[in-house]
Amino acid sequence: MNEDWALYEVFIRARSGLEHKHVGSLHAADARMALEHARDTYTRRQEGVSIWVVRSSDIVASDPQEAEALFEPARDKVYRHPTFYSIPEDVKNI
Amino acid sequence: MYTQALDSPGVGHAALASADEAERERRFQERIDRDEKIEPKDWMPEAYRQTLIRQIAQHAHSEIVGMLPEGNWITRAPSLRRKAVLIAKVQDEGGHGLYLYSAAETLGVSRGELIGQLLAGRAKYSSIFNYPTLTWADIGAIGWLVDGAAIMNQIPLCRCSYGPYARAMVRICKEESFHQRQGYEIMLTLARSGTRAQREMAQDALNRWWWPSLMMFGPSDAESMHTAQSMRWRIKRFSNDELRQKFIDVTVPQARFLGLSIPDPDLRWDEAGQRYASGPIDWSEFQAVLKGEGPCNRERLGARRAAHESGRWVREAAAAYADKHGDRAGAGRPGYAQAS
Amino acid sequence: MITAADCTAGAVSAEERFRYLLRLADTSLVLGQRLSGWVGHAPTLEEDLALGNITLDLIGQARLLLAYAGQVEGRGRDEDQLAFLRDAPEFFNVTLAEQPNGDFGQTIVRQALLDAWQVELYHSLIGSTDEQLANIAAKAMKECRYHWRFSCGWLVRLGDGTEESHARVQAALDGLWRFTGELLTPDALDAHMASHGIAPPLAVIRSRWEARVTAALEEATLRQPPPAYFPWLGKRGVHSEHLGQLLTEMQHLQRLHPGATW
């Protein structure tokens, strides 16, 4: 008989105004149990005000082998950054 | 709480499959040398993966076996404050085991597999937990000495090259900062303001935990098999002997403050080296305990097996319930509609 | 033991208030002491942490209530003197709290039956005319709500899980049900406290407790046992044999080293 519980990833919002951040994982038999385990494991020291849990197998992740193709093309698009443009110092509020 | 430096036999260097493989390994080592973190799906040499799995699993096993000797005193803690602190500490150790198993799982091995190895007696955990907790003072001594030694081992691991392990260690070190202090506080109460019987209890605990604590750092550098490779991979950053010396140097003055004596007749201040010189460690004891001949090896594994066996029907029931009702059923179940 | 004749007709005496506070304090303390035995031995690592959290809540409640009870009593006894230096007949926890852990199913049944009771009791105590008790209740109620969520969730999973889990948890329920009458049947002290607005009438707690428990048992596909005859009265200091053993273990160091600090 099956006694292995699924792996879940846990995301915690530390306080309102901040985004949920990945903090770790745990095992649970169902979604509500995962939420409770996340509370009992990852918020014992007031680390959070909101929890997301998601089954690890439901996460779609990019492949590190493709990292060059995915991320390097952005490298030479320096004109996306404000520091690319030179404006005379006398011009204010820009 | 944690474990001695881990030097169990691991995977040797397999012959490299091809020049391509060698090139990958060279680039991997370059990343390590640049202090880049390695993340779960990144390419890594198989030996690196195996070394990490072994080390993280042993560390995790140490945490959960480590719950037992201290857990032995939870129901007998002498005040409600001490009881709450001890529960919180033992619970933290369970949490640390959990974080570490999670880190190991990112390397493609399941927690169930790792726990199976532990229960089958095929995995190692820190030998310190094979010693018994005989009096309440042992709870103080463990917090002070064993957690003190553990912290010394663990802080460098926060900078370990493997991202998930390093992140788990950061969380663990943050949580553990109270563990050593609560232990020392127990020792202070017993040794400085306690009755004669309490002072004797404190000295007796120091006598029994001192040498095993020193052994927690693992065999001396000359004997240690994996130190060099682990240091190259930045899984390990200081040698066993360096960390052990550091521990002795900070702990001896703490014992003095308690008015307790360290059970080492050869201990003396070495003015030239600006450090404490200490007597030889009985490595035959270390080896025997490691091989399963310590005072509590059987009890510790027996307790873990019993918990696992008697929990099986519970784990099965929860899985069966989820199968029956669809585990995404969410807010309405189970029993939560009225769980306000 | 306080009987109807002992209850003062008018104001609530310090002794009566003290005794009532001990009912609450000792129930949390004894249940916490029992649960603490699970830490390190639970069915999964996650459950170790969950049970640890509940234990810590219960011991926290006990400490607040004992400290307050000590003040009310006015004899200078602090939380530890009350916890470690009273004998079983001076403990006033409900008898259900002291029942052994048994297997995980028995622990969950004991927990759920008591959680449902504590949630309702503390919820009502927030409106107590005793301001300090009301403050403690406000904190305890939030904790107990989570405890109930946890234990009720497990009750349903185990009841409606496998054949084995159903049988085990039904057997635990059959064994523990006889202790529930005490939670819901008022004695003279309960009635006296209620008449002064210090505590809710137990009749109110009874109907809410029954609603919670009946719904949970139904979802768990468990059969509700018939009412039992024997009136357990742990809350008046008449306990089962288990409490003496529990206290012997819990109190041993304090008893062995009188006056020592720890």
Domain total for chain C?
1
Q: Per mean pLDDT, which range of A60-64, B164-168, B183-187, C89-93 is the poorest?
A: A60-64
- Residue C196 placed within a domain: yes
Domain that holds residue C183: 13-223+230-256
Q: What is the mean pLDDT of residues B288-299?
A: 93
Amino acid C17: pLDDT: 98
Answer yes or no: is pLDDT of B9 > 60: no
Assign residue C27 the CATH number of its domain. 1.20.1260.10
What six digits make up the tokens of A27? 């095992």
C261 assigned to some structural domain: no
Cis peptide before B334 (omega within 30 of 0): yes
Q: Which of C44, C50, C162 sits opposite A27 (nearest CB)?
A: C44
C212-251 burial by CB neighbour count: b if 16+ within 10 A, else e?
bbeebbebbebeeeeeeeeebbbbbbebbebbeebbeebb
pLDDT tens figures, B239-292: 899 999 999 999 999 999 999 999 999 999 999 999 999 999 999 999 999 899
Of C50, C153, C162, the CB nearest to A40: C50
Where do the domains of chain A lie?
Answer: 1-59
The answer, for B11 touching chain C at a CB cutoff of 8 Å, is no
Q: How far is CA B264 from the centre of its chain?
A: 25
Cross-strand pairs, A10 = A24, A53
CA distance A29 to chain C (A): 10
Q: Looking at CA atoms only, how far is residue A60 from chain C in angstroms?
A: 26
Which pLDDT score, from 0 to 100, does residue B337 have? 38
Quote ipTM for the complex.
0.95
Q: What is the mean pLDDT of chain B?
A: 90
Asked if residue C146 belongs to a domain, the reply is: yes
What is the torsional sign of CA B103, B104, B105, B106? Answer: positive
- Predicted confidence band at B220 (pLDDT cuts at 50, 70, 90)? confident
Residue B96 carries which DSSP code? H
> What integer is the mean pLDDT of B216-236?
82
Q: What is the pLDDT of residue A58?
A: 95
Give C-chain residues touching B103 at CB under 8 angstroms.
none
pLDDT per residue as tens digits for the range C157-167: 999 999 999 99
Q: Does A22 touch chain B (CB under 8 A)?
A: no
Q: Which residue would you say has higher pLDDT here, B200 or A76?
A: B200
Does C87 fall in a domain?
yes
Average pLDDT, chain C: 96
Neighbour order of strands in the sheet with A50-55: A20-28, A6-13, A50-55
Chain C residue closest in CA terms to A43: C53
Q: What pLDDT score does B307 carry?
A: 97
% of chain B beyond a pLDDT of 90: 80
Distance of CA C147 to CAs B94, B232, C75, Å?
A: 20, 49, 34
What residues in B contact C217, CB-CB < 8 Å? none
Instruction: Decide if pLDDT at B331 tops 90.
Output: no
Q: pTM (2 decimals)?
A: 0.93
- Give a yes or no: residue C211 inside a domain: yes
Q: Pick the closest to residue B198 from B264, B262, B135, B132 (CA basis).
A: B135
Kindly state whether B120 is in contact with chain A, defined as any CB-CB distance less than 8 angstroms: no
Vertex C124 angle, CA C119 and C130, to 5°: 125
Residue B8 pLDDT more than 50?
no
Q: Which residue has the tokens 């820009």?
A: A94
C52-80: b or e for each residue (b if 16 or more CB lie within 10 Å)? bbbbbbbbbbbbbbbbbbbebbeeebebb
- Left, alpha or beta for B234 (phi > 0: left; psi -120 to 50: alpha)? left
Q: Which chain B residues contact residue A1 at CB under 8 A?
A: 316, 319-320
Rounded to an integer, what distance in angstroms lies between the CA atom of residue C110 and that of residue C41? 18
* Unique residue bearing structure tokens 């669809």: B326
C5 domain residue, yes or no? no
pLDDT grade, residue B17 (50/70/90)? Answer: low
Q: What is the pLDDT of residue B234?
A: 86
Q: Which residues of A touch B112 (CB under 8 A)?
A: 4
Q: Which CATH class is domain A1-59?
A: alpha beta
Whole-number average pLDDT of chain A: 93
Q: C7: pLDDT confidence band, cut at 50, 70 and 90?
A: low
